[in-house]
Structure 1
Amino acid sequence: MSGPDLRRAAAARALDLVEPGMRLGLGTGSTAAAFVALLGERVRDGLDIIGVPTSEATRLQAEGLGIRLATLDEQPDLDLTIDGADEVDSELRLIKGGGAALLREKIVAFASRRMVVIADAAKRVATLGAFPLPIEVNPFGLTATQRAVEAAVARAGCAGPVRLRHGPDGGAVVTDGGHHILDAHLGTILDPEGLGAALWAVPGVVEHGLFLGIADAAILAAARDGTAEVTVLGSLA
């Protein structure tokens, strides 16, 4: 069973949580895109919801599917956000930001009554950190900010290089908010809360990809005997 099949299975389970009239945060990334695609099918069948996208890519996808959209200023209180994750641990702590949308993803998730993560079960880890931690930074004073981030990472007991993310064209990745992304290749993050606090203390850091105490549940799909088996961490209620 392929990755797209597993992503679709997790997305389909999350779609069961959607009720008419909901205000939904729509995540970014391949698994979130699978959810938006299924949601578009339901909308074509008459489901009435309002979506708030977390990126321009998601906005374009949702608009193309006929999903009614609003900004977070227009709909500041959301019922549910469905989004993917790059890593999730047993305490529902996440690393997000592989798609460079972490700032908007966190703002939208925080404005929601519930956040549910959907992912391939391979994204579940015992300890966060194998996936490079994205850190969104202001481009002004980038070199100074990168050095301060490296020092903060070390003070938090982590070790590993911090690198500016580049796109396929060789230039620095620019987020929808006009920022850059530093990726911290740490391997292991033993104290996510401590690292998060250390990063927040750095001027120039706009947001980091540690989502702590935000997710209420994770829907994880794994291949079992040629079919997708879905398990849930946390509560979907």
Structure 2
Amino acid sequence: MTPAEQKKAAAAKAVEFVEDGMKLGIGTGSTAEEFVRVLAERVKGGLNVIGVPTSERTAKLATELGVKLTNLDDTPHLDLTIDGADEFDPALRLIKGGGGALLREKIVATSSDRMIVITDASKKVAMLGAFPLPIEVIPFGAVATVRRIAEIASAYDCHGKIARRVDSYGEPFLTDSSNFIFDCHFGRIPDADALARELNLIPGVVESGLFIGIATMALVGTASGVDMIEPK
């Protein structure tokens, strides 16, 4: 299977874990959108679920396809979140945020009893860091915040360019919460647990794209089918 076909296979498998009456967190990105499409077909067939989208983009697609939506203010506890990942390791530590929705994704995922990650095989790594780590930062004092990020990262043997993300027009990319994202090109993150803790202590950092201890299962599309992976 091609990577695109692997994503579709993982999304189709994920829908098997959705039960009637569930309150779902629905992720952001190309793989999560495949899940929305498969879920919408089940909804047309009579499945009764309600979803909390993690981005305006996801909300738009779900609405167009007939998936009923709510929000965390009205539905603060969710049964299951299904989302993609930019990288994951054998312990199901994740890097997320390539689509710019990491803050909402993490809020939704941690409001759920379980999180299932759906990916293609290319996202599985021995150590996180090849994918640039996104960090959401408030605009005020962003330069000072990034200097502190670099200092903390260096203390954990993480080095490389830290660049503010731009949009397709070359302007600063803004999240749905009107914050900046800085992408950290570390190459490797030897101690993701410790780095995640330290980054979240920096004033000005809203959230990092390190998802530690949140995912409970990964469904990984491969050339021969879908592998089910649980944390080691």
Moved beyond 3 Å, runs of 4+: none
CA drift at 1:137: 0.4
Aligned length: 231
Question: SS of the counterpart of 1:58?
Answer: helix
| 1:187-222 deviation per Cα after TM superposition (whole angstroms, max 9, x unaligned) | 010100111122112110000000000000000011
Structure 1 portions without partners, runs of 5+: none
Question: In the TM superposition, what is the alpha-carbon distance from 1:124 to its structure 2 partner?
Answer: 0.4
- Match of 2:157, SS state, is coil
2:175 equivalent to 1:175: yes
Q: Structure 1: how far apart are the matches of 2:108 and 2:38?
A: 20
Q: Tell me the equivalent position of 2:148.
A: 148
In the other structure, the counterpart of 1:5 is 5
1:3 Cα deviation (Å)? Answer: 2.2
Structure-2 separation of matches of 1:90 and 1:10: 18
Q: Is the 8 A contact 2:117 2:219 kept in 1?
A: yes
Question: Are 1:121 and 1:221, in contact at CA under 8 Å, matched by a contact in 2?
Answer: yes
The equivalences for 1:192-203 within 5 A come to 192-203=192-203
Looking at structure 1, the residues matched to 107 and 201 of structure 2 have their Cα atoms a distance apart, in angstroms, of: 19
Structure 1 position 46, deviation (Å): 1.2
Alignment partner, residue 88 of structure 1? 88
Superimposed CA distance per residue, residues 105-164 of structure 1 (whole angstroms, 9 cap, x where no aligned partner): 000000000000000011000000000000000011111111111111112221111110
**1:111-126 alignment runs, 5 A limit:** 111-126=111-126
Q: Please tell me whether the aligned partners of residues 26 and 54 of structure 2 are also in contact (alpha carbons under 8 angstroms).
A: yes
Q: Structure 2 CA distance, aligned partners of 1:197 and 1:161?
A: 21
State the alpha-carbon separation in 2 of the partners of residues 145 and 36 from structure 1: 36
Instruction: Verify the 8 A CA contact 2:3 2:121 in the aligned structure 1.
Output: no
Residue 214 of structure 2 aligns to a residue in which SS? coil
Alignment of 1:61-76 (within 5 A): 61-76=61-76
Select between 105-114 and 193-202 the one with higher mean Cα deviation.
Answer: 193-202
Answer whether contact 2:27 2:81 (CA < 8 A) is retained. Answer: yes
Aligned letter for 2:108? V
- Unmatched 5+ residue regions in structure 2? none
Identity rate, percent:
53
